Amino acid sequence: MLIAGRIMAGLCIGVTTALVPIYQSEIAPRKIRGRVVSFLHSGITSGMLIQYLIEYGCSFLNSQAAFRVPWAVQAVPAIFLFIGLFFLPRSPRWLASKDKWDEVLLVLAYLRTPKSDINNPMVLAEYKEIEEQIRTEREQDTSGYRELFGKKMRGRLFRGMAVQCLSQAVGIVTIFYFIVYIFESAGISNTLLVATILYVIYIVANIPTILWTDRFGRRSSLLIGSGIISVESENSSTVTSE
């Protein structure tokens, strides 16, 4: 039962993690798009801390609730997300792809202006931009899987997959999964408390990303982050070997 549940949860979390930043990018204004998407990772790290604290508290229970409660609590944010989705507007770009142009204008006005002004110049300019993009895609037939795996997109597709895969290979995910065992092997007595501190540091370290991504640019931020991780990983491996 646990294996089946893990498979279902993994599929759903994978789909959600892939779609949320796309949705955020399509509804957020361009000047704060990086900041908005950065909140996704902050939400993930905050959720990890909250779940860890729940597990920490349940570890003092001397019953089956010690593992049943943490598993059951996972359903609470999922229920809120499911209900909240019905109140979110559809993506203007998706509506345009379905030729629902009146709704595109209404959604853009709702997202970009305080009083949903459909005559706002910024709204009309973005509406025109989406209209031109959709027309160009249809003329060039660039929305299918053939285009995705074509010569023009092959390099971008590989780099995008590489960033996603290699960001998981830096070790932080492994540390969070086995953090208690790692600290125990290092001779730390109060492993749960130290692990909690590490989770808090992880959340705080996300704040500069939210504040500076749009200022430095998404490409520059990616290069800076990758460079720092490379240096830090090399230093860590050197210390470990010594």
Question: Count of H helices and E strands in the chain?
Answer: 14, 0
Residue 162 is assigned to a structural domain of this protein: no
**pLDDT attached to residue 79:** 92
**196-230 residue pLDDT tens:** 888 888 888 888 888 887 787 778 888 887 788 77
**pLDDT attached to residue 239:** 46
Residue 207 is assigned to a structural domain of this protein: no
For residue 78, give every residue at least 6 positions away whose Cβ sits within 8 Å of its Cβ, in sequence order, or none: none
Cα–Cα dist 209/37, whole Å: 10
- Whether 39 and 101 share a structural domain: no
Residue 120 is assigned to a structural domain of this protein: yes
Number of domain units in the chain = 2
**96-109 residue pLDDT tens:** 989 999 999 999 99
- Whether 36 and 116 share a structural domain: no
**pLDDT attached to residue 195:** 81
- Whether 71 and 15 share a structural domain: yes
Domain that holds residue 96: 90-143
Among 88, 103, 127, identify where a domain stops: 88
Residue 221 is assigned to a structural domain of this protein: no
Residue 192 is assigned to a structural domain of this protein: no
For residue 62, give every residue at least 6 positions away whose Cβ sits within 8 Å of its Cβ, in sequence order, or none: none
Residue 180 is assigned to a structural domain of this protein: no
Among 88, 113, 130, identify where a domain stops: 88
| Tokens encoding 9 | 């949860």
- Whether 59 and 119 share a structural domain: no
Q: Which residues of the chain have pLDDT under 70?
A: 141-144, 232-242
**pLDDT attached to residue 242:** 53
Residue 27 is assigned to a structural domain of this protein: yes
- Whether 40 and 70 share a structural domain: yes
Cα–Cα dist 13/3, whole Å: 15
DSSP 8-class letter at 30: G
Cα–Cα dist 77/73, whole Å: 8
Cα–Cα dist 127/117, whole Å: 13
**pLDDT attached to residue 238:** 54
**pLDDT attached to residue 198:** 83
pTM of the model: 0.75
Among 110, 126, 143, identify where a domain stops: 143
- Whether 56 and 109 share a structural domain: no
| Tokens encoding 116 | 């949903």
Angle, helices 65-73 vs 75-85, to 10°: value is 10
Residue 239 is assigned to a structural domain of this protein: no
- Whether 130 and 48 share a structural domain: no
- Whether 80 and 106 share a structural domain: no
- Whether 84 and 2 share a structural domain: yes
CA-based Rg of the chain, rounded to a whole angstrom? Answer: 22
| Other C-beta atoms lying within 10 Å of the C-beta of residue 242 | 5
- Whether 20 and 94 share a structural domain: no
